[in-house]
Structure 1
Amino acid sequence: MKSYIEAIDNLPEELRWPLVKAFEIFREEIADTVKKADFDELKKVVTELIEAQKRTEQTLLELAEAQKRSEERLTRLEITVQELAEAQKKAEERLTRLEITVQELAEAQKKAEERLTRLEVTVQELIEAQKKTEQRVNELAEAQKRSEERLTRLEVTVQELIEAQKKTEQAIQRLTQEQVKIKEELGGLSHTVGYRLEDEAMKSLPKLLKQDFGVEVVGRLKRDFIEISKNNYIEVNIFGEGRKNGKEYVIVGEAKSQLKKRGIDDFLKKVEKLKRHIGKEPILLYVTYISHPQIRKYAEEKNIKIYHSYEL
């Protein structure tokens, strides 16, 4: 009986009391009827139960170890899951950033496509412009060709004009030479007319000066060159000396076929140069065939006495 109690004591506490209780009940019920053989069989059953219990405990220990390992693995799994969760969170964040980047890329792609569309339009416009330019260049080339043809004809015409110009210049040269001759002849004729007018004036002027100014001519009136500086002479058509009331004068006159304002101005400039050398008050005369009333008035304002050929 002691060995059963020791065996029961080795059982876990939660099995110990129910088994003792069962033995007590069993012992009371079979105390008078159970034979030794039956009891031995019961002991055998109990021993088997104890062995089974030991195996159960061993199994429980193994299960506990397995549970411990499972918990360790579960802990590691939880850590792994946590790490996976963190990785998932980071992956989601990266995915979010990636989505943003993809969206930005999509926007950039959209803008790039819009720019590409505009570029295609621009390229097409450039192609059209190039076609127009080529057409314009071809037109210019044709125009240039026509211009060169016209220029060639123009060169021929210019060459012909040059030849004609040479002939014209030769003719002009001949005409110029003839004109010089005519001018010389006219100059000679003018001088002849002028000299004749001067000659007539010199014969009649002493009487006219006496009559109009009360001036008597001293000596003779003449045509002469008056030296105003060394080797510098002025031609004077009519030149002489006169006297009035004991005062001496210089008579200076000009003879032209026609009276002109420019001729009067030139005569006055000549007189101004002479005044520096003659040292006497001049009496100014102008002999002509014809004069305009306004010119005669201008001459009178300059103290120039006008005599016409018909007065001589």
Structure 2
Amino acid sequence: MSNLKDELLRLLRENESFRMEVLRMLGIMDVNVALSQLTDSVNKLTKSIEDLREEVRKLWEENHRIWEEISKLREENRKIWEEIQKMREDIRELREENQKMWEEMGKLREENQKIWEEIRRLREENQKIWEEIRKLREEVNKLWEENHKIWEEIRKIWEEIHGLRKSHEDLIRIVKGVLKDLGGLSRTVGKLVEQDIRHYLPAWIRETYGITVDRVRRLKVNNIAEFDGYVETEDKILLMEIKTTLRTRDIKDMTEKIEKYRAQAPSGKTIIPMIIYTIEGEGPEKLINTAKLHGIMLIKHYGEYEFELINQ
């Protein structure tokens, strides 16, 4: 029995055909085939599952991308709707603008019609102007003829002027001599007027200020200022200029002399500057305003004891 077992084991190990026959008889061969087929099926299923898992993963990724794309599309769609809304608003504005343009075109057509009517009137006016120009040319021709005659007259006048120039030069020499004589006469009149005013001025001072003086004497201050009249009391000093004809420059000169005098005037006394005159050499208003500006009294002498304070 032991030998048989050993022999069988040997045959199973060494004899391939015997071993396969035994397996076939025992049904093990079919089991191996089935197992092999089952293993192949399991392997195929496993691979299919792996493939399915990969496919599912890809599907999830694709699904995620799709949702992202959907989100982008929604955002894009929102922007498109906003753009559409803007476009609708622009279209509405364009329609309104278009309506205004049509209205403006209507106005322009009316204006254009008026312009054409104005052009027609201008053409008619232009025609009239050309007719006037023709008439003016005729008048100009007449004027040229008249001008020629005038030049002839001018030539004759120049000849007369040439003769008059000699007479004019003679007259100038005569006038210069007369003016020289008048200058001396003017100075003489000025002195006479000053003497007349000086004679009656003390009475006016006595009446106006209550100061009794026999005469109005001159004042010369250290070669820096000279006044035609000077009266001094305990509390005031009257400084006077006497002019035949008063001008604004006389007022300004008086102001400058007063300023120079103030630097050496006695302290504590009121200085009252005044100009006594007989004739205004400029407009009275200008003289009065200038005197007020510089604080100078203007007294006009009408004759004898008649004096008048002008700028009260």
TM-score with structure 2 setting the length: 0.42
- Structure with greater Cα Rg: 1
